[in-house]
Amino acid sequence: MKNFDYAVAGRLEDAFISDGTAIMPIAGGTELLNWLRLGISAPDRVIDLGGIEGLDGINRDGDRLSIGALATLNAIGEDALVAEHATALADACLKAASAQVRNRATIGGNVLQKTRCAYFRAEEPLPWGCNKRAPGSGCAARDGLNDRHAILGWTDECVAVQPSDPVVALAALDAEVELHGPNGRRTLPVADFHLTPAEAAEAETRMTPGEVIVAYHLPITAGRSSAYVKVRERASYEYALVSAAAALTLDGGTIRQAAIALGSVALKPWRLPMAEAALVGLEPRREAVLSALKAALAEARPLAHNRYKVPLAVNAAARAIVEAGAKA
């Protein structure tokens, strides 16, 4: 592993001071240390953001819930405000990783984690092509072992998926991510924060050089209920095969407004706007919503070994809708 300098940031501005060297911020460190070990990242300097005050808070400000980027997954999952106004996010945080990792992992770092593709997560030198590690070398997963890979938004250059649990819930809850960098602060919808290979060849997010995540902001909507469903091979310390988050507002027992996001199907949380429109006026029952979800997943393009993900995504979304409806 390459040697690097280590510094602790005392204020936010220290995180994006640039002197021409490769600088990497670190928060919980549960993901970055893997990057360093595998050779995915080789910074000259690592700047620890953990000591910056005010970035780990969870607060309500009027009709908005704000969560600092340094808040840990366990802190978010166990917070009363989050449980009340963003149930899907609380569920997603508590279903991520293991209890030990959640005590350290932050919501800022979790959303920025890289794909779990085994061809990508290999130690250097790579014995196969991976365009994310070596642009132009090819995608070994395209015609290789791709049972956990994308069914939406992929290209021949990359078929990986974004593995974060919280980002799926954030997307369904219409959250915004707040960024701070050399050019000041700005916000973006979480649903548009990540980029698929079809949207950008190499960039994975819309962050610009020097920017760091400082917070997430979620609207508090009266009468809205939400749920998160994670389908995985074991109940703990496992990434999703498919996940789904649903946020519903009901009116007299039928859906007045719906937001649905899928996870582990693309390199970004995948909203289903066609299904969301079709669900209006329906009861939040499995039999009532299945046809709308199946129609929305007609755009899926499964690979050789992951065709199972299409019905799995439909059923996960249906279950999330039913669970959200039951909480209304």
Query: pLDDT tens-digit profile of 121-143?
Result: 999 899 999 999 999 999 999 99
Q: pLDDT tier at 20 (50, 70, 90 boundaries)?
A: low
d(CA 219, CA 207): 22
Q: Of the candidates 35, 39, 85, which has an alpha carbon nearest to the alpha carbon of residue 58?
A: 85
pTM higher than 0.85 for the full model? yes
Q: pLDDT tier at 171 (50, 70, 90 boundaries)?
A: very high
Identity of the residue numbered 125: P
- The tokens of 159 are what? 């078929």
The pLDDT value given to residue 14: 83
- Distances in Å between the alpha carbon of 43 and those of 3, 5, 213, 261? 9, 9, 19, 34
Compute φ and ψ for 11, nearest 5 degrees: -145, 165
324 has a pLDDT exceeding 90: yes
The pLDDT tens digits for 38-56 are 999 999 999 999 989 999 9
Mean pLDDT within 254-259: 98
The pLDDT value given to residue 23: 85
176 has a pLDDT exceeding 90: yes
The pLDDT value given to residue 18: 62
Q: Does residue 90 contact residue 77 with C-beta atoms inside 8 Å?
A: yes
